[in-house]
Amino acid sequence: MLVDDLKAIVGEKGWSVDADELAPHLTEWRGRLRGETLVMVAPNTTAQVSEVVKACAAADVAVVPQGGNTGLCGGAIPDASGQQVLLSLARLNSIRRIDPNDSSIIVEAGCILADVQQAARNVGRYFPLSLSAEGSCQIGGNLSTNAGGINVLRYGTAREQVLGLEVVLADGTVWHGLRSLRKDTAGYDMKQLFVGSEGTLGVITAATLKLYPDPGKTATLFVALPTANGAVQLLARMRKRLADRIQAFELISERCLQFVVRHIPDSALPFGKDYPWYVLCEVIVGDSVTEIESALADTLEDGLISDAIIAKNKGEADRFWRMRHSLSEAQKPEGASLKHDIAVPIGSIGEFLERGDSLLAHMSPDARLVAFGHVGDGNLHYNVSQPAGADGGRFLADGIKLTSAIYELVAELGGSFSAEHGIGVLKKEYLRQYRGGAEVTLMEAVKTALDPKNTLNPGKVI
């Protein structure tokens, strides 16, 4: 029997069928999806992952890889049949090697992102991938969804941090590709097939990642603005002065911070009054913030910004960033929410937000817009919370038309309906709608070639 074979492979501590233990692994973070599983297995070596995948392939049973289960598209949740095997990578969590001279680190897929960041700091290096769930999300999940986060402006997405991968293929074969080369033109760049594939092409078990020099002293700026489009202009002016010293540049709407103050303990607005929009920015400053102060003074004089604060110390900077990282958590108690993880050309952000407001006013006038995002890469989280006191289920059902209208606007502006959260289950139909034809046909061909029996995370992405 397959379940008995899997238990034998992973050992006594490597499996569970206990309902209470399984519960958080079978539900999407917002509670919109729930699945069932034959058994959850948690191997602690790549060899065990290989044996699990091989056994499932032989039995024609699907395997659903799962990291920290912090995704928002259902990509790591098994279906409701109860016939799929949930493969947790949580116990595969060793840092195999860190080489500051090579500026690289080899980590296993179950390593928590924050632990990888700390390991880099311990040797005087910096790992830049940073996102709200970094205290619980795992590297394997970050890579399988090509996570973005706040530092894409300077360092790029998760994809740009990968030098090599170790991957278990659909038949259990292990591809040992943990190279740390910066230059390598020996054939196809196979590792990039698996980054962003959400476990549908192979199970990432380890990765070689880039490290960077410690950026040194940084300054955190909290800026108030009268318009969202002003943030795009502000970024352009600051980049002209500061070039790539800008690490993060986050746009936040007024309602976002209202929700944070309402639901996150020890949170407070940094200004004496509310403003329509804010920017939270981190800049490498060296020994002086004079140049930043001068840039802000110029924009304040021009009316581009309304007010600005530079964090006085690390504690204040951490409080500012805690507010930013709490935005999704603060939105959750406000009820059901339509999540739109979209990207548009940076210069079109203002137009998108203006036309999006018109859509909301026409289609759902009582809904509450919760907009925030990464201005430097054009990625906005254009979230819409249900009207206060409304029925959440009804709001989500009716919201399909609003979501479609928003994605149509995004497409018209040359953008993407999925910037950094992936496709999973919830966005499959939109992938075919907006990337259909040759592009989806190519994806299907790759899937068939690498997983001909369709046992790796079936029903996800395509």
* Residue-level pLDDT at 25: 96
Tokens at residue 450, please?
């690498």
405: nearest Cα among 454, 358, 456, 451? 358
Taking each helix axis as running N to C, give the angle between helix 392-412 and helix 349-363, from 0 to 180 degrees, rounded to the nearest 10.
140
Distance between start and end Cα atoms, the chain: 30
Q: Which of 275-279, 298-302, 347-351 has the lowest mean pLDDT?
A: 298-302
* Residue-level pLDDT at 213: 96
* Residue-level pLDDT at 165: 98
Residues in the chain: 462
Type of residue numbered 120? A
Distance CA 166, CA 148 (A): 21
234: nearest Cα among 278, 267, 286? 278
> What is the assigned CATH class of domain 95-213?
alpha beta
Q: Which residues pair with 64 in a beta bridge?
A: 86
Find the DSSP H helices in 220-348. Answer: 229-242, 254-263, 290-301, 314-325, 327-331
Query: Rounded to the nearest 5 degrees, what angle is found at the Cα of 218, between the Cα atoms of 217 and 219?
Result: 135
Distance CA 47, CA 61 (A): 19
Q: Is the pLDDT of residue 295 over 90?
A: no
Q: Are 244 and 200 in contact (CB under 8 A)?
A: no
Q: In angstroms, what is the C-alpha Rg of the chain?
A: 22
* Backbone phi, psi, residue 4, to 5°: -65, -40
* Residue-level pLDDT at 28: 86
* Residue-level pLDDT at 288: 67
Region 443-461: what's the mean pLDDT? 97
Counts for the chain of helices (H) and strands (E), in that order:
16, 19
* Backbone phi, psi, residue 222, to 5°: -115, 115
Type of residue numbered 132? S
Distance CA 460, CA 418 (A): 14
Distance CA 364, CA 391 (A): 14
> What is the assigned CATH class of domain 218-329?
alpha beta
Tokens at residue 342, please?
């979209």
Residue 213 CA from chain centroid, whole number: 23
Region 259-272: what's the mean pLDDT? 93
Q: Is 336-371+386-434 in CATH node 3.10.110.10? A: no
Give the mean pLDDT of the chain. Answer: 95
136-171 pLDDT, tens digit per residue, is 999 999 999 999 999 999 999 999 999 999 999 999
The domains of the chain are located at: 2-88, 95-213, 218-329, 336-371+386-434
Do 336-371+386-434 and 218-329 fall under one CATH topology? Answer: yes
Among residues of the chain, what percentage have pLDDT more than 90? 90
Q: Is the pLDDT of residue 450 over 70?
A: yes
In this prediction, residue 241 has a pLDDT band, given cuts at 50, 70 and 90, of confident
Q: Are 173 and 219 in contact (CB under 8 A)?
A: no
Q: Which residue has the tokens 């040359």?
A: 414
Cα pseudo-dihedral 138, 141, 142, 146, rounded to 10: 180
Q: Are 462 and 444 in contact (CB under 8 A)?
A: yes
Distance CA 261, CA 315 (A): 18
Taking each helix axis as running N to C, give the angle between helix 428-435 and helix 438-450, from 0 to 180 degrees, rounded to the nearest 10.
130
* Residue-level pLDDT at 243: 85
* Backbone phi, psi, residue 352, to 5°: -60, -45
* Residue-level pLDDT at 244: 87
What is the CATH architecture assignment of 2-88? 2-Layer Sandwich (3.30)
In this prediction, residue 75 has a pLDDT band, given cuts at 50, 70 and 90, of very high
Pairing status of strand 85-88 against strand 39-41: parallel
Q: Is the pLDDT of residue 42 over 90?
A: yes
In this prediction, residue 433 has a pLDDT band, given cuts at 50, 70 and 90, of very high
Task: Report how far apart, in Å, the C-alpha atoms of 98 and of each of 110, 128, 147 are.
Answer: 16, 15, 22
Report the 10 Å Cβ neighbour count for 459. Answer: 17
* Backbone phi, psi, residue 163, to 5°: -100, -30
In this prediction, residue 394 has a pLDDT band, given cuts at 50, 70 and 90, of very high
Q: Which of 127-131, 268-272, 283-287, 346-350 has the lowest mean pLDDT?
A: 283-287
In this prediction, residue 367 has a pLDDT band, given cuts at 50, 70 and 90, of very high
Cα pseudo-dihedral 77, 80, 86, 89, rounded to 10: 10
Distance CA 289, CA 281 (A): 13
Q: Which residue has the tokens 């395997």?
A: 63
CB proximity list for 388: less than 8 A, separation 6 or greater = 334, 335, 368
Report which DSSP code applies to 158: G
In this prediction, residue 287 has a pLDDT band, given cuts at 50, 70 and 90, of low
Type of residue numbered 148? G
Tokens at residue 23, please?
């519960």
Distance CA 445, CA 201 (A): 11
- What DSSP line would sit under 328-381, residue for residue? HHHHGGG--EE--EEE--GGGHHHHHHHHHHHHHHH-TTSEEEEEEEGGGTEEE
Burial of residue 301 (number of CB atoms within 10 Å: 0-12, 13-18, 19+): exposed
77-99 pLDDT, tens digit per residue, is 999 999 999 999 999 999 999 99
